Structures are given as C-alpha cells and as structure tokens.
Amino acid sequence: MGIINLAPKILDPIPGGKYVVNAIDYVVNWARANSIWPLTYGTSCCAIEMMSSSMARYDIARFGSEVFRASPRQADLFIIAGTITRRMAPALQMLWEQMPGPKYVLAMGACTISGGPFIYDNYAVVRGAQNLIPVDVFVPGCPPRPEALFHGLLTLREKILKETCRDPWHEGEPKDVSTMDRYREAAKTWAALERIKDEEMAEARAKFKEENPDYKSSFKPVRVKKEDFPEVERIACKRFGLSQLDIYKKLKAKFPDITVHTHSEDPIEDVVAAMPADRPLEVMISVEDYLPAVEYVKNDPEFKMNYLIDVTAIDYDDHFDMVTQLRSIEKGHKVFFCVQIKKNFDIPEEERPTALLGSVPTISHLYPGAEVKEREVYDMFGINFEGHPDLRRIFLDKDFVGYPLRKDFTHPQMIKRPV
C-alpha cells in the first residue's frame, strides 16, 4: 500500500501525470482482480461447497484462486463459508484484522447474509456477517452451488477493477455483534412494495372492467388428479436381547419404585408387554435410584449395558426429565432411564433462570463418554452433576447467561417466530 497511494498526489499536478496514474491503476487493479487468494476458512455446509469448487469438477484454479492459504497473513479474500455463531464472532473479526490490505470479504450462503434458516428462536447465530465485518459480495443460497461462488468471485473481480489509487482502498471498521434483523427489515420493505403493487393492480383491474364491460375470461381451471397411494402397515423390526417386559420385571424386582410413563389405565405390565418390538423401554426412576440402577445394569451379566448412547434432558414445568440411553452391544437390548429431577423452587423466582435447579449424580466414572454429554446437559439445562470431574459449559461461552433449552429461556437477541 502506502507508496502507490502517494502517486496521484505527486503525479496528478504534473502535466501528463494523470495518464501515468491511470496506467498504475490499470496494472495494479488488473493484478489484484485476477490474483485473489482465498483464506481456508469454513464452519459448516458452505465450506464443503467451497471445497467442491476448488476440486476437479469446478476448479477454481481457472480463475487463479486455487491458492487457498491457511494463514490469514497471505490471503486476499475472506470467504465466510458457513454460519457464524456468537462464539465464533471474535475469532472471525480477529482473522479479518490479521489479513493485510487490500482484503475483500465474500459472504457465502444464507447464514452469512441474514442468519438464513437460523433467524428465529435462536440465541447463538449472528444474523449476517455484515454485522461483524464489512462485506463486499454476498452469494445467496443454502448452500450456494460452486457456480454461484464463481459468480460471486467474478463480481468481486469487477468491483476491484473499478478501484483507483485516487480514492484508495480503505479498511472498514469491525463492528459489534448487533441484534439487527436484516431479514425482517427487508420483509417490511417488501411488504410495502407489494401493497403498492396490489393497489396499482386493483386500479388497473377496475379500469379494465370499465373499458371492457363484456369481457369474459376463457380460462378454466383444470384440477390435476392426485395420485392415489395405498396405506401401508408399519412392521416393527425384530427384537434383540431381552424383551421390554423382562427388563421391566428385573428392574422392578431390584428397584420397586420405578414406573413406566403411560397414559392408559391398564396395568403397567400390560402396557409394557404391548409395546412394539423396536421401541426401547423408558423407565421412570428417582434421583436416589439412578446411580445404583445404572451400576446394576452395567455390571449385571444378563443386562451388560456397556454402551452409553446419549444423555439428554427434557424440561417440564416442575421437573426435569433426564434421559440416559443405554444399550448392550452384545445382546442388543436398550433401556432408557428417565430420571425425575424435581426443580428446586426454594431459589427466589428472579434468580431461577440463571441458577442450577436440579442435581443428579454423575455416571462419567462408569461411562467415560458421559463426561461430555453431561457437560452438554449442564450447559443447556442447568442441571448439576455431583462428582463430575470437569463441569464447564461446553457449547456456550462461560459468561453466557441462562440455560437455553429450558422452556422459559429468554435471550435479548432472540426473535420469536411469527405465527
């Protein structure tokens, strides 16, 4: 930079100097526009399409842009491929600031334009890259095809060709994560335009009717016959291992307090016996029985529940339902423990959204894989795990306020989905 920006100041006053400046402009812009080295940066689906575009079929190298640099210091173009979350935002801004000028930004995909599919009821996604850094070109699509990316690249090329060192490229300012909902603003403008169009249309229609009172349309709607499909019975797949009833009976013998979630009036054993074969047994269990029960099914030779599928939770009004999904690799049967965790309502109401409302013993010493899953439940629901070795937030920043998957969760940046 630097030196050529002085060129117009020195050369322009000299007779004929303008042509020299124009020539410098031409050469420099030609070089910049045709040698765009992108940064290797991708967060999600768009990254795969960005990769596809540099592969044999589409070959971004034809435009001289196959030199994907892993270090931002050597890149010219920042292709923001994929959703940007609030947690990623500082890293994104830092990367942009690390790039030497002149640098260009291409926002790829719906997420980087407006938040895309993640606009409503979302606490994590930044609604558009424009809210963080200045963007030169937007490429719509979810995800855009590689051809669309090329179109964006060529548009950027044209934009660079119009630059001049009389009005040199200057760095924009990185912005704060704002709550701006670009989509809604655009929708408002769109609606206003549509209204004007409708009015004009109505006027035109009235005018037409006045002029041609006898006009009759020859248009007749044709109804396409809908294809007819048969109803098909669902066939549950084969049962492996113990049947639900056996599991229930064995557990009931050991832990008499357990129940099974049901809405019918029939005895529980009948309900369990009537379950389809591919439906796992869900056992309602108390917090006290939870750890002994898991230990029991893990070590009992008939159960051998050695595989933890997942730990998750469901938030109800007065309690959490923490679901621990276990299966036996050898035998093939599954059992889901639904731990009923009563919410601790001793906490004053205004502190509840940010407080840990329940507590349950950890099973991470039995299943090492449970460690991250329990961290996720802690992060999303605010359930404490007693004895967990490393209880930190996992997906959200450590200063994030609230627990998103609770039903009463609110966040200043969340926009309700219009019904």
Partner 1 sequence: MSMTRLPPGFKITRDTNTEEFFINMGPQHPSTHGALRLALRMDGETIVEIVPHFGYIHRGMEKQAESMSYLQYIAMSDRQDYLTAIQNNLGVVIALEKGMNIGVTEKAEYIRVMLSELGRIASHLVFFGCFGGDLGGQTCLLFGFKEREMIHDILEEVTGSRLTTNFFRPGGSRFDVPENFIDRVKAFLKHLEGAMKDYERFLSKNIIVLERSKGIGILSAEDAIAYGCSGPVLRASGVDFDVRKANPYSIYDQLQFDVPVTYTGDCYDRYTVRIAEIHESMRILYQCIEKFPKEGPWRAKEKPVRLPVGRYYSEIETAKGLYATYVVAATTGEKPYRIHTRGPSFPHIAALNKMAQGHKISDLVTIMATLDPVIPEIDR
Partner 2 sequence: MFVPSITHPVGDFIRDWVPKLTAYLPDALHNATLDSIAAFLINALLCVIAVCAVNIGSAPILIYMERKVCAHVQCRLGPMRLGWHGTLQTIADVIKMLFKEVYSPSGADKLMFYVAPLIVLIAPFIIAALIPFDHNLIVADIDMGIPMIIAVNGFGVLGILLGGWSSNNKYSLLGALRSGAQMISYEISFAMILLFVVMISGSTSLMDIAQAQDGTVLDWFIFKIPVLGFIAFILFFISSTAEMNRAPFDIAEAEQELTGGYHTEYNGTPFAMFYLAEYIALVTNSALAATCFLGGFHAPCIGVAAIDTYLQMVPGVVWLFAKIYFMIWCYMMVRWTFVRPRVDQLMDFEWKFLLPVNLVLLAAGAVWMIFVG
The residue ranges that bind partner 2 (CB under 8 A) are 1-2, 4, 27-28, 30-32, 34-35, 55-56, 59, 61-64, 66-67, 69-71, 73-74, 76, 100-102
Residues 58-97 that bind partner 1 (CB under 8 A): 70, 72, 82-83, 85, 87-88, 91, 95
Of the two residues 25 and 371, which places its CB atom closer to partner 1 in the complex?
371
Report the partner that residue 74 touches, choosing among partner 2, partner 1, none (CB closer than 5 to 8 A by kind): partner 2
Strands 334-342 and 281-286: parallel
**CA 356/CA 378 separation, integer angstroms:** 8
Is position 386 an interface residue for partner 1 (rule: CB under 8 A)? no
**Torsion angle of alpha carbons 386, 390, 393, 394, nearest 10°?**
-120
Backbone dihedral angles phi then psi of residue 182, each to the nearest 5 degrees? -65, -35
- For residue 315, the minimal CB distance to partner 1 (Å) is 8
Which listed residue (122, 131, 244, 384) binds partner 1 by CB under 8 A?
122
Which of partner 2, partner 1, none does residue 32 bind to, with CB < 5 to 8 Å depending on kind? Answer: partner 2
User: 160 near 168, Cβ under 8 Å?
Assistant: no
Look at residue 197 and give the partner it binds from partner 2, partner 1, none, a contact being a CB closer than 5 to 8 Å depending on partner kind.
none
Cβ neighbourhood burial of 112 (10 Å; 0-12, 13-18, 19+): buried
User: Residue 76 binds what, of partner 2, partner 1, none (CB under 5 to 8 Å, by partner type)?
Assistant: partner 2
61 binds, among partner 2, partner 1, none (CB under 5 to 8 A by kind): partner 2
The one of partner 1, partner 2, none whose footprint includes residue 405, by CB under 5 to 8 A per kind, is partner 1
For the bound state, the minimum distance from the C-beta of residue 136 to partner 1, rounded and expressed in Å, comes to: 19
Cβ neighbours for 160, distance < 8 A, ≥ 6 positions apart: 29, 32, 33, 102, 104
Give me the torsion for CA of 39, 45, 50, 52, rounded to 10°: 140
Q: Is 47 in the site for partner 1 (CB under 8 A)?
A: yes
- Where b means 16+ CB within 10 Å and e means fewer, 170-209 reads eeeeeeeeeebbbbeeeeeeeeeeeeeeeeeeeeeeeeee
User: Contacting partner 1 (CB under 8 A), which of 13, 263, 351, 399?
Assistant: 263
Would you say 18 or 184 has its CB closer to partner 1? 184
Per the CB < 8 A criterion, the answer to whether 312 and 322 are in contact is yes
Written as six digits, the tokens of 186 are 């655009």
Q: Which is nearer to partner 1, 289 or 315 (CB)?
A: 315
